[in-house]
Structure 1
């Protein structure tokens, strides 16, 4: 259910894939995390295209020519829209997110539980900021709720991950 600040969103993603040419080589653990993120997104999302009939959508995410590309198709894989966002506004927040994730993983090995919790709260805060920025950048073209934006931001970060 949408909250008062979010529009009603009638559509849903039924499939999501990440561009293989964009993805860097990663460990089996990182690949597993990507697959979980995609699974979670497909299982629970609100995603719609204004001016298109609500329904199931297939999303292909890629980075091309310094742009984040949303290739949205219908359930039968027929193209609907190709929306490209400049990566410039997202770069700093993705970089900040990676830095705080590095701190979090380092802290897990040596820090106290309260220190880990503090870093994790910061990590979640940066992730939320990235999700809100992504929602703003998509506004008017692709409508998503906050939880869907959070899952999409995770995949945007996965596209940037180079190990």
Structure 2
């Protein structure tokens, strides 16, 4: 769903985002990127579980990866009561994440020696792949969780960081 299809209220947001035990610790660089991605999501987001029985937020989200599936455990911020659990296959993201990492590597290499025009071209490609991943995430969440495009972008960044090995 896009923000054009749904109106978000002030409580339609995440106030906390954590990782389940299945997502282990990593290198300091990866841990830093994860922390930045979480901060970005929590800084500004529109997030609401979909369904007739969903109670008003704000919400907490715990992400886990089990059997190559992304598990989203959503609870209420006020009392940690369970709202919903959704499981998404990571398969549809594999190619996009791989392409995104390849373009990011090219971008970081280009910064060292390429012209401004070349860097801008690579950055446009990077943003395009990131947008594709964000749209895929929105499609996979459709009917489960309503988010706007900017929130989907921030969550897709987090999906990428979960795949990054450093």
Q: TM over 0.5: same fold?
A: yes
Q: How many residues align?
A: 161
Q: Is the 8 A contact 2:13 2:57 kept in 1?
A: yes
Distance in 2 (alpha carbons) for counterparts of 1:3 and 1:134: 12
Distance in 2 (alpha carbons) for counterparts of 1:101 and 1:14: 29
Distance in 2 (alpha carbons) for counterparts of 1:97 and 1:24: 22
What's 1:18 paired with?
Answer: 19
Q: Is the 8 A contact 1:73 1:79 kept in 2?
A: yes
What's 2:60 paired with?
Answer: 58
Unaligned stretches of 5+ in structure 1? none
Map 1:70-81 to 2 at 5 A.
Answer: 70-75=72-77, 76-81=79-84
Normalising to structure 1: TM-score of the pair? 0.91
Unaligned stretches of 5+ in structure 2? none
Distance in 2 (alpha carbons) for counterparts of 1:40 and 1:32: 12
What's 1:145 paired with?
Answer: 148
Match status 1:96 vs 2:99: yes
Map 1:1-163 to 2 at 5 A.
Answer: 5-10=4-9, 11-19=12-20, 21-23=22-24, 25-26=26-27, 28-51=28-51, 52-75=54-77, 76-163=79-166
Distance in 2 (alpha carbons) for counterparts of 1:115 and 1:5: 35
Normalising to structure 2: TM-score of the pair? 0.89
Distance 1:4 1:89, change over 3 A: closer
Distance in 2 (alpha carbons) for counterparts of 1:23 and 1:94: 19
Q: Is the 8 A contact 2:68 2:90 kept in 1?
A: yes
Distance 1:99 1:20, change over 3 A: farther
